Amino acid sequence: MMKVPPGNEQFKEMMRKHNIFDVEYKMYHEIVPDFNQLYRNVNVDVKFSAKCYDLKTPSEFGVILLEDLRPFGYRNADRLEGLDLVHTKAVLERLAQWHAASATRVEIKGAYSQLLQGGWHSKSRQEAMRNFTMIVRKPFLDSVKTLQGNEVYIESLTKAVDNITDELFRIVSCDENEFKVLNHGDFWCNNVMFKYDSEGKIEDTLLIDYQMLNYGPPARDLHYFLMSSTSYELKVNCFDYFIEFYHENLVKNLKLLNYPKKCPTLKELHISLIKNSIRGVLAAVGVMAAALLESHDDASLDGFFSQTEDAERFRHIMFTNPRYRKHLQMLLPWMYNRGAFEV
């Protein structure tokens, strides 16, 4: 499977300043093998991802050539229905292993390079985020204003959306003493592949697409994943349960890998989730809308970022999608009651 650079001109300009293919190449060829080795050192066999191959190309940004996992029985889950309890727990187990390895590696080899952890601090990323929120603001809020009971939270939600970029970059520099990991950054169900045994039970879980990495609290990946990828029945009802389950597995793996510092407590993790709750809002506005939309001819980066008539029509379809609105109807009051819109 070959990944090629997007044709969107705005994305090309951003890649000239921060080439995400360079990030992904380094991850597949250096960092992920280090994570795998950390577990082998304690006699645990963990494989996080597919193989990546070298390929010379005249492309300005290069390409990423990956092993095709489908012949080995790996596939994505149904993003429209969202992940059930078993799939969500399998993903959180793998995420906890990833986060534990990423934190332990820092203690052994030192800080990650700016290439890996600097993307969220870049001016080009901020400009892209401002452009995204400016473009989706109206269709998103227009949809919300027709939800039952929206008058309770619409004013504070509007303020949160208008300030989302500033708030994201205000909290990007986390407390020096806060527990930090190398976040996947684009952690939703389409970037997870499952393999099943003959009885249909999950046999293995692999992660793909290492382009949006950022170094900081694990709350970032947790908000992104749990908001975008869990089923309607679980998204709110099981949120705290999933956090406790993830925390239990995180601590177990940190201890397994002989992490030398204090493990984060469950209370500290919840505090971090509240502090970073704007990321849940961003996930609800962005990736959750994409995850819950049926395949569409106009679905592309241009659909999110361009201002053509086709792109505007696509965004209208996405934000008025009944499946998405059903999730919003449940999710937004819950977020409001947790203070997520306070900026």
Q: What's at 220, amino acid-wise?
A: R
* Residue 118 phi, psi dihedral angles, 5° rounding: -95, -5
Residue 166's alpha-carbon distances to 160, 278, 296, in angstroms, are: 10, 10, 32
- What does CATH list as the number for 77-337? 3.90.1200
Pick from 278, 184, 254: nearest CA to 225: 184
DSSP 77: -
Per-residue pLDDT of the chain (343 residues; tens, 9 = 90+): 666 666 666 666 666 566 677 888 889 889 999 999 999 999 999 999 987 776 666 455 566 677 888 888 999 999 999 999 999 999 999 999 999 999 999 999 999 998 887 665 566 677 778 888 999 999 999 999 999 999 999 999 999 999 999 898 887 665 778 999 999 999 999 999 999 999 999 999 999 999 889 999 999 999 999 999 999 999 999 999 999 999 999 999 999 999 999 999 999 999 999 999 999 999 999 999 999 999 865 555 555 667 788 889 999 999 999 999 999 999 999 999 999 999 8
Contact 202, 86 (CB under 8 A): yes
